């Protein structure tokens, strides 16, 4: 089964404000956000079960397939999935957050293999409250509900997918980045941290 993976990108100028303390300047912060996104997209592209990556954003840019017409992450994902289905109504679709700094292609392949056996699936974040991925097979309704407490809402109509922690480790804060570093960062993020001389990464929480 070949999947289309939808990724939503917010402008780096306004994205990840809670991660800002991990950087020494505004430019360093934007570079870090871009690196995390780049590593996430590289991992997705390396997954054998992914046939296409579809990027939706709040602004036009290189590699953007769709500029969302309504604000918000849920609106972006809903519009993107509808567009993908117009182009290929038989394709299973996964939507993925773009801040999975420790993600590996093999993690995503394993998750998609599990997702192929359920009409609608979701992956909760490390804390179990948020969501990092939704999956939906062809013909199934898609109703994203990202935001605080989203895992509980998604669990009402979707099946939880038991996946590796690297697919659950979204990076919103410096502490999250520390956990991702322990799991193994992608090459872009490692290079940015080394080049910019960012503060040492330490985590106060462990899974």
Assigned token pair, 165: 């922690």
pLDDT of 28 above 90: no
Strand duo 50-57 + 93-96: pairing: unpaired
Tens of pLDDT, residues 98-141: 999 999 999 999 999 999 999 999 999 999 999 999 999 999 99
20 or 156: which leads in pLDDT: 156
Assigned token pair, 92: 């299973």
Q: Is residue 204 part of a domain?
A: no
Please check whether residue 47 is in contact with residue 109, taking contact to mean a CB–CB distance below 8 angstroms: yes
CA distance 204 to 201: 10
CA distance 49 to 111: 10
Query: Mean pLDDT, to the nearest integer, of 179-186?
Result: 93
Q: Is residue 47 part of a domain?
A: yes
Q: Is residue 28 part of a domain?
A: yes
Q: Is residue 203 part of a domain?
A: no
Q: What is the DSSP letter of 8?
A: E
Q: Is residue 205 part of a domain?
A: no
Domain that holds residue 118: 3-196
Q: Is residue 202 part of a domain?
A: no
Q: Can you give the pLDDT at residue 17?
A: 60
H or E segment at 7?
strand 3-9
CATH number of the domain enclosing 118: 3.90.550.10
Q: Is residue 128 part of a domain?
A: yes
Nearest residue to 123 (alpha-carbon basis) of 108, 139, 138: 108
pLDDT band of 20, cuts 50, 70, 90: low
What is the C-alpha radius of gyration for the chain, rounded to an integer number of angstroms?
A: 16
- Number of domains forming the structure of the chain: 1
Query: Mean pLDDT, to the nearest integer, of 183-188?
Result: 94
CA distance 5 to 55: 8
- The position carrying tokens 């990076």 is 171
Q: How many CB atoms lie within 10 A of CB 160?
A: 15
pLDDT of 198 above 80: no
Q: Is residue 50 part of a domain?
A: yes
pLDDT of 203 above 60: no
pLDDT of 77 above 80: yes
CA distance 41 to 171: 14
Q: Residues 152-158: contacts with CB within 8 Å, 24+ apart?
A: 154/122, 154/124, 155/122, 157/120, 158/118, 158/120, 158/121, 158/122, 158/134
Nearest residue to 153 (alpha-carbon basis) of 131, 175, 137: 131
Q: Can you give the pLDDT at residue 23?
A: 60
Instruction: Give the global pTM.
Output: 0.89
């Amino acid at each position: 089964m070949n999947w289309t993976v939808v990724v939503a990108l917010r402008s780096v100028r306004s994205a990840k404000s809670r991660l800002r303390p991990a950087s020494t300047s505004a430019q360093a912060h934007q570079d870090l956000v871009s690196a995390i996104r780049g590593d996430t997209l590289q991992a997705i592209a390396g997954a054998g079960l992914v046939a296409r990556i579809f990027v939706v954003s709040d602004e036009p840019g290189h590699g953007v397939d769709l500029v969302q017409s309504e604000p918000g992450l849920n609106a972006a994902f809903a519009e993107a999935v509808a567009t993908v289905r117009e182009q290929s109504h038989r394709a299973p679709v996964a939507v993925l957050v773009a801040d999975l700094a420790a993600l590996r292609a093999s993690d995503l392949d394993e998750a998609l293999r599990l997702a192929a056996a359920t009409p609608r699936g979701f992956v909760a974040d490390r804390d179990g409250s948020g969501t990092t991925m939704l999956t939906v097979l062809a013909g199934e309704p898609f109703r994203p509900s990202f935001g605080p407490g989203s895992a509980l809402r998604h669990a009402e109509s979707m099946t939880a997918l038991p996946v590796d922690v690297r697919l659950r480790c979204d990076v919103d804060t410096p502490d999250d980045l520390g956990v991702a570093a322990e799991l193994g960062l992608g090459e872009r993020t490692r290079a940015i941290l080394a080049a910019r001389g960012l503060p040492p990464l330490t985590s106060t929480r462990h899974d």
